[in-house]
Amino acid sequence: MSIPTGGGDPVRLRMGAGGEAVGGNFWQQVGGRPTFERLVRRFYEGVATDEVLRPMYPEHDLEGAIQRLTGFLEQYWGGPTTYSEERGHPRLRMRHLPFRVDADARDRWLAHMRVAVDDLHLAPADEAMLWGYLERAAIAMVNTP
């Protein structure tokens, strides 16, 4: 490896006080909107075939669900705040109370997400960060023993 001389993108190698790469947050670093849309569309392809999860989602509005999850994840990782402008405070646990999220639903959700994350072929550190979050969030969403 050569020492960066300004021709490449050496700035990304430095960390800001908050642990963020200087000049770019995670959302930018992994490719912005197109990356999150790909992730969520791939995820919903799996959901569409899932006999337990599919009935929980709006029958005729998977596109709406795709937009909501994409917007939320973009916002969470430092992208545009369109989600909250349209939907208000996420209150995700509360918004999931109408659905029966048990261990089986959680594992299915995560399995479809795993396929979608693998499909992105992110750098290992980025992938670990994204996956760690999704796993913790899914565990936190369980509301039925």
- Helical spans, DSSP H, in the chain: 26-29, 33-48, 62-76, 82-87, 92-96, 103-120, 124-141
Query: Which one of residues 58, 60, 121, 124 is an interface residue with ligand HEM (CB under 6 A)?
Result: 58
Q: Which is nearer to ligand HEM, 12 or 120 (CB)?
A: 120
Burial of 109 (0-12, 13-18, 19+ CB in 10 A): buried
Identified binder of ligand HEM from the candidate list 11, 92, 115, 128, rule CB under 6 A: 92
**Residue of the chain from 56, 78, 126, 131 that contacts ligand HEM (CB under 6 A):** 56
Nearest CB to ligand HEM, comparing residues 12 and 76: 76
Question: With respect to ligand HEM, which residue has the nearer C-beta, 12 or 95?
Answer: 95
Distance separating alpha carbons of residues 133 and 64, to the nearest angstrom: 23
Q: How far apart (Å, rounded) are the C-alpha atoms in residues 70 and 81?
A: 11
Chain contacts with ligand HEM (rule: CB under 6 A) = 53, 56-58, 64-65, 68-69, 72, 87, 92, 95-96, 99, 101, 105-106, 109, 134, 137-138, 141
